[in-house]
Amino acid sequence: MNIQDFKKEVNRLKKEKDAFIIAHYYQRYEIQEVADFIGDSLELSRMAERIEQSTIVFCGVYFMAEIAKILAPHKKVLIPYRNAGCLLADMAEVRELRELKERMPQAKVVAYVNTYADIKAEADIICTSANAGEIIKKMDSDEIIFVPDKNLGSYHSQFVDKKILLWNGYCPVHERITLKAIERAKRGNEDALVIVHPECPPEVTRSADFVGSTSQLVRFVKESPAKKFVVGTEEGTLYKMREAAPDKEFILPDPIPRCDQMKMITPERLIKALKEEIYEVSVDEETAERARLAIERMLE
């Protein structure tokens, strides 16, 4: 199916099924083309509550679809591929987190949004890469358990005077963006600014010109007077960057950072999901209620 036919068919099915399509920035370009809304985890969480349609089709990884279901429990939430997981979210384990909380009863738990609902339910508050620093700073505790991304936690811990216990998790896609790969990308592009996501390793964030969440990176390329950027994050982000700053040049490090989990959502699977109303996301009520409280604390 060519892209025009794909768009036509998605639009027809959206009307027929009263559906709204949300896509994360790391989705395939074809999926971003047909999405009603594209954003990062914070923007997506804010969006879920405001949708009027009865069905939300979430083109992202499973924990994101879970957030939509938690925040909009009366809607039907679909994910076109049930096994689109997040390797970072998989690194947090609820029993170990409970044990840690028992060992550190005075500590508050800040959970990155890239976690499943059971981990969110154990957290005092949720954060995203866009607001993690602000949230850690504002917590009324000097001891924090930060779960699960050690790179994001370590990046923000340098700006606060708090004891932060970092969970030993990381995003394999951003972890593979090495300083050497960034330096190779800079070769011959010395006038380019290096902009990276805080899930990258510490030596990469330390040497970058700008560190920010996906939405902050997109905003930065739009507003910056620079014309060229070495981009240290998932390659799907370039779709929005090119739209926001069409006259600018973007260079990805080699190997290209690509999240295979995000790319499990294909045009064929999106069409099938709309037609057959699969796969429906569910979260048990008690877990959803506790996770909702932690998410709402963040949104406040």
Which among 65-73, 82-90, 183-191, 211-219 is the span making contact with ligand SF4, rule CB under 6 A? 82-90
Using rule CB under 6 A, residue 262 touches ligand SF4: yes
Using rule CB under 6 A, residue 259 touches ligand SF4: yes
User: From the CB of 234, what's the least distance to ligand SF4, in Å?
Assistant: 5
Binding ligand SF4 (rule: CB under 6 A), the pick from 31, 38, 59, 61 is: 61
Residue whose CB is less far from ligand SF4, 87 or 226 = 87
Which among 49-57, 83-91, 102-110, 274-282 is the span making contact with ligand SF4, rule CB under 6 A? 83-91
Which among 46-54, 92-100, 219-227, 259-267 is the span making contact with ligand SF4, rule CB under 6 A? 259-267
Rounded distance between C-alpha atoms, residue 93 and residue 76, angstroms: 27
Residues 170 and 88 sit within 8 Å (Cβ to Cβ): yes
Mark residues 212-251: x for contact with ligand SF4 by CB under 6 A, - for none: ----------------------x-----------------
Reference 226, options 194, 193, 188, 250; nearest CA is 193
User: How would you classify the pairing of strands 210-211 and 55-59?
Assistant: unpaired
User: From the CB of 26, what's the least distance to ligand SF4, in Å?
Assistant: 6
Residue whose CB is less far from ligand SF4, 107 or 119 = 119
Residue whose CB is less far from ligand SF4, 14 or 257 = 257
Using rule CB under 6 A, residue 291 touches ligand SF4: no
User: From the CB of 146, what's the least distance to ligand SF4, in Å?
Assistant: 15
Tell me how far the alpha carbon of residue 49 is from its chain's centroid.
17
